[in-house]
């Protein structure tokens, strides 16, 4: 399914601004409004690589979470992820390190966070 349709259903007027939409398309990072309040949305995109987390997706999401935290924007996370992308290329590229950056960004964030 297309996670963008889910995002459109939950945000005000079905409108949102996707950040870096052409990079790491297996994860959606977007700014939107819910009940008039600004929120950051992080969502796996099952249509691309089944929504797995690879190096690029982990980096994209970690930076987005840090940006939301810096600007005091609450984070909504929509999860449908089978895990990290396996493979020699990912392992040599440092998938564990990049995945840990994402985990650290979430743990370090001081803004409200909700995961669905």
Identify the CATH number of the domain in which residue 97 sits: 3.90.226.10
Q: Following CA atoms 107, 110, 111, 113 in sequence, which dihedral angle do they give, to the nearest 10 degrees?
A: 20
- CA–CA distance, 38 with 17 (Å, rounded to integer): 11
pTM strictly above 0.85: yes
State residue 113 phi and psi, 5-degree precision: -135, 135
Give tens-digit pLDDT for 11-64.
999 999 999 999 999 999 999 999 999 999 999 999 988 778 888 999 999 999
> Could you tell me the residue range of the domain that residue 64 belongs to?
3-115
Total number of domains in the chain:
1
Token pair 């008039």 in the structure block, residue = 36
């Amino acid at each position: 399914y297309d996670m963008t349709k889910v995002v459109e259903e939950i945000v005000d007027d079905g409108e949102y601004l996707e950040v870096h939409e052409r990079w790491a398309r297996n994860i959606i990072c977007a700014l939107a409004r819910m009940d008039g309040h600004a929120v950051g949305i992080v969502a796996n995109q099952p249509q691309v690589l089944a929504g797995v987390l690879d190096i690029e997706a982990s980096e994209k999401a970690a930076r987005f979470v840090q940006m939301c935290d810096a600007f005091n924007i609450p984070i909504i996370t929509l999860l449908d992820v089978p895990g990290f992308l396996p493979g020699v290329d990912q392992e040599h590229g440092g998938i564990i390190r990049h995945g840990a950056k994402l985990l650290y960004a979430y743990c370090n964030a001081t803004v409200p966070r909700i995961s669905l």
